[in-house]
C-alpha cells in the first residue's frame, strides 16, 4: 500500500520528481524495476519499514528507501548509488530536474540525512525465512550476517570434513565430493608451484653462473686496476656478510668440549659442510686453516690459556655449521673482540658436544 501511494505521488508530481514514463525512455519498466531484478534494485523495499518514511528518504529512481545514498550537485537530489550510476550510463541528466550531471557531480549525502536513515526501523532481510527481528537500519548489516535464519550463514560441517558451508547448502553437502575437489585443487596448486620452483631454480643457476664469471673477471682485473681492486674487495666482504647472516646463531654451553687438533677426516667433513651451506670460496681454505690451534691467536693458543679465558669466549657471536657440532666465529660478526682472540676471516671451532 505504501509503495503504491509513493508511485502515485511520483506520477502526480512530475515537476518535482521523476516522471513515471521516464523509465521506459531508458529501457526500464517502472512497475518491475524493483521486483524483477533489473539494474535498479538498490533501494530498500518500503514495506519492510515500520512507521512513516519521510519522502526525502525515498530514491526517485527505484521508489525504495535510499541505500548507500549519493547526492547530485548542485541540485542536491539524493539517489541510491547503484540507481544513479546505472541511470547516468543511459541518460547523463538528473532524474528530477533534467540538469546535466556526471560522476564528478556525485557526493556523499549530508550527515543529517544519513542519521535519519540510520534511525529507521526495518525488518530483517531474512523475514521470509522466519526472522521476526525489527531493528535500526544502521544495525541491519551486522544482524543479517549473524542472523540464525540467514540461509547463507556459513556453518561448519558436522560430519567431520571440517569445511564451512552456507546453511542452505548443508542438506546437499557431500563430504567426499567436496574433499576430493579440494584435494584436486591442492594438487593443481602444488603442480603449479613445482613448475614455478623449477623455473626459478633454473634462473637462479644461470644468475649464479654469470655472477661467478663476473667475480672471476673482477679478481683477474684487481691486480692491474686499483679501483677494480677496491670494488672486488668490497664485493667479497659483502658476500661474506650475506652468508654469515644466512646462518643460525649458536651458543656454546661447554667450552671444555672443544677439539683443538681435529684430524684430517674431521676437517674434511667440516669443509664439506661449509661448502654445502654456501661458504664463499675465497675464504673457505682460510677458515679451514683456522680450525686448528696452531693457527689460533694468542688468547686461544693453549689449553691453559683457553681455560683462563672462558668467560671472554662467552662474548663471541657464533654461527652454527649446519648439521655439525661446530661453530663459526667470523670476524665480521666479532669486531668487538680483541685481536688476542680473533683472526681474519674467522675461526672454525669443532666440539665433541655442547652446541645449542
- How far, in Å, are 62, 97, 229 from residue 110 at the CA level? 21, 20, 69
CATH number of the domain bearing residue 114: 3.30.40.10
Q: Which grid coordinates are listed for 235?
A: 664485493
Q: Which of 71, 67, 70, 53 is nearest to 6 (CA)?
A: 53
Report whether pLDDT(29) > 60.
Answer: no
Q: Is residue 238 part of a domain?
A: no
Q: Is residue 232 part of a domain?
A: no
Q: Which three cell numbers stand for residue 124?
A: 530483517
**According to the model, what pLDDT value does residue 121 have?**
92
In a domain? residue 315: yes
Count how many domains the chain has: 2
In a domain, 198, yes or no: no
At residue 15, the pLDDT reads: 34
Choose the final residue of a domain: 82, 104, 123. Answer: 123
Would you say the pTM of this structure is higher than 0.75?
no
Q: Answer whether residue 67 is part of any domain.
A: yes
Residue 129: per-residue pLDDT: 85
The tens digit of pLDDT for each residue in 80-113 reads 999 999 999 988 999 998 889 888 889 999 999 9
Q: For residues 138-162, give the mean pLDDT.
A: 83
Give the residue from 71, 88, 123 where a domain finishes. 123
Residue 322 has pLDDT above 60, yes or no: yes
**pLDDT tens, position by position, 264-308:** 999 999 999 999 998 988 899 999 999 898 889 998 888 888 888
Instruction: Note down the domain range covering 285.
Output: 248-351
- Looking at residue 16, what is its pLDDT? 36
pLDDT (tens digit, 9 = 90+) per residue, 253-263? 888 888 889 99
Bridge-based pairing of strands 106-108 and 164-166 is unpaired
Asked whether residue 155 is assigned to any structural domain, the reply reads: no
Instruction: Kindly report, residue by residue over 178-214, the tens digit of the pLDDT.
Output: 788 888 999 999 999 999 999 999 999 889 888 888 8
Q: Considering the domain boundaries, does residue 43 fall inside one?
A: yes
Give pLDDT, residue 36. 32
Burial class (CB in 10 A: 0-12, 13-18, 19+), 221: middle
Residue 303 domain flag: yes
Domain termination residue (choose one: 77, 98, 123):
123
pLDDT tens digits, one per residue of 174-183: 888 878 888 8
In this prediction, residue 201 carries a pLDDT of 92
- Tens of pLDDT, residue by residue over 226-263, are 777 788 788 888 888 999 999 999 888 888 888 889 99
Amino acid at each position: 500500500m505504501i509503495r503504491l501511494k509513493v508511485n502515485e505521488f511520483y506520477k502526480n508530481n512530475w515537476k518535482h520528481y521523476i516522471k513515471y514514463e521516464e523509465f521506459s525512455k531508458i529501457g526500464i519498466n517502472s512497475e518491475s524495476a524493483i521486483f524483477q531484478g533489473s539494474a535498479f534494485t538498490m533501494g530498500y523495499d518500503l514495506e519492510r519499514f515500520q512507521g512513516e518514511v519521510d519522502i526525502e528518504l525515498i530514491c526517485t529512481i527505484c521508489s525504495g528507501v535510499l541505500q548507500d545514498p549519493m547526492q547530485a550537485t548542485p541540485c542536491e537530489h539524493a539517489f541510491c548509488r547503484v540507481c544513479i550510476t546505472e541511470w547516468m550510463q543511459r541518460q547523463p541528466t538528473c532524474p528530477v530536474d533534467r540538469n546535466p550531471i556526471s560522476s564528478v557531480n556525485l557526493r556523499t549525502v549530508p550527515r543529517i540525512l544519513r542519521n535519519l536513515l540510520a534511525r529507521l526501523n526495518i525488518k530483517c532481510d531474512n523475514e521470509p525465512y522466519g526472522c521476526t527481528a525489527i531493528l535500526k537500519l544502521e544495525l541491519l548489516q551486522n544482524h543479517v550476517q549473524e542472523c540464525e535464519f540467514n540461509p547463507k550463514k556459513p556453518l561448519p560441517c558436522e560430519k567431520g570434513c571440517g569445511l564451512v558451508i552456507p546453511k542452505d547448502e548443508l542438506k546437499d553437502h557431500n563430504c567426499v565430493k567436496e574433499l576430493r575437489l579440494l584435494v584436486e585443487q591442492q594438487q593443481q596448486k602444488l603442480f603449479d608451484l613445482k613448475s614455478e620452483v623449477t623455473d626459478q631454480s633454473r634462473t637462479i643457476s644461470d644468475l649464479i653462473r654469470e655472477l661467478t664469471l663476473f667475480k672471476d673477471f673482477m679478481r683477474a682485473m684487481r691486480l692491474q686496476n686499483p679501483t677494480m681492486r677496491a670494488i672486488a674487495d668490497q664485493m667479497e666482504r659483502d658476500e661474506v656478510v650475506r652468508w654469515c647472516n644466512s646462518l643460525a646463531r649458536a651458543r656454546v654451553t661447554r667450552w671444555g668440549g672443544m677439539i683443538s687438533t681435529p684430524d684430517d677426516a674431521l676437517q674434511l667433513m667440516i669443509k664439506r659442510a661449509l661448502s654445502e651451506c654456501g661458504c664463499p670460496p675465497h675464504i673457505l681454505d682460510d677458515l679451514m686453516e683456522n680450525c686448528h690451534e696452531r693457527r689460533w691467536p694468542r688468547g686461544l693458543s693453549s689449553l691453559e690459556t683457553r681455560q683462563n679465558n672462558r668467560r671472554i669466549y662467552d662474548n663471541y657471536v657464533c654461527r652454527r655449521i649446519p648439521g655439525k657440532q661446530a661453530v663459526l666465529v667470523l670476524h665480521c660478526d666479532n669486531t668487538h673482540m680483541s685481536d688476542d682472540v680473533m683472526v681474519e676471516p674467522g675461526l672454525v671451532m669443532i666440539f665433541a658436544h655442547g652446541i645449542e
